[in-house]
């Protein structure tokens, strides 16, 4: 459940830190987005903090879950928020992010070189080591 995702406090903290730096734009990628709930919550929180240009990209391997995420995104309509969900392999997704790294990458699993190149800040949950943040 999203309310209990151990990454949520780190996501809130990262977004607050970016706003304290007077940032108004943010790009968040969720590399295992499921039905999109955590990413949608993150972009809404960014909007509540005062971001005016918010890009969220959810990536998943299940076309059915991506379809659910797209439906949920349509209900979360806000002109300051752009949400995109794509069914890609994680390798394809990480390769696509290397050229223009996201501000925040939400990840499940160990932080590898490919993962760290995909974002400025990686917020990861590794079932073996717990919550990790890597800049």
Q: Where are the domains of the chain?
A: 2-134
Q: Alpha carbon 113 to chain centroid distance?
A: 18
Question: Domain 2-134 has what CATH class?
Answer: alpha beta
pLDDT at site 77: 82
pLDDT tens digits along 83-130: 999 998 888 888 888 888 999 999 988 888 888 889 999 999 876 655
Chain mean pLDDT for the chain = 89
Terminal-residue alpha carbon distance, the chain: 26
127-132 long-range contacts (CB < 8 A, ≥24 apart) are: 130/6, 131/6, 131/7, 131/10
pLDDT at site 1: 44
């Amino acid at each position: 459940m999203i309310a209990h995702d151990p990454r949520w406090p780190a996501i809130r903290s990262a977004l607050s830190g970016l706003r304290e730096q007077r940032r108004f734009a943010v790009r968040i990628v969720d590399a295992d987005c499921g039905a999109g709930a955590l990413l949608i919550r993150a972009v809404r929180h960014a909007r509540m903090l005062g971001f005016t240009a918010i890009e969220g990209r959810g990536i998943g391997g299940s076309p059915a879950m991506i379809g659910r995420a797209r439906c949920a995104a349509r209900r979360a309509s806000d002109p300051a928020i752009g949400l995109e969900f794509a069914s890609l392999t994680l390798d394809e997704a990480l390769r696509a992010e290397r050229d223009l790294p996201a501000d925040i990458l939400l990840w499940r699993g160990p932080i590898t070189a490919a993962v760290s190149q995909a974002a400025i800040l990686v917020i990861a949950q590794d079932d073996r080591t717990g919550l990790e943040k890597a800049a």
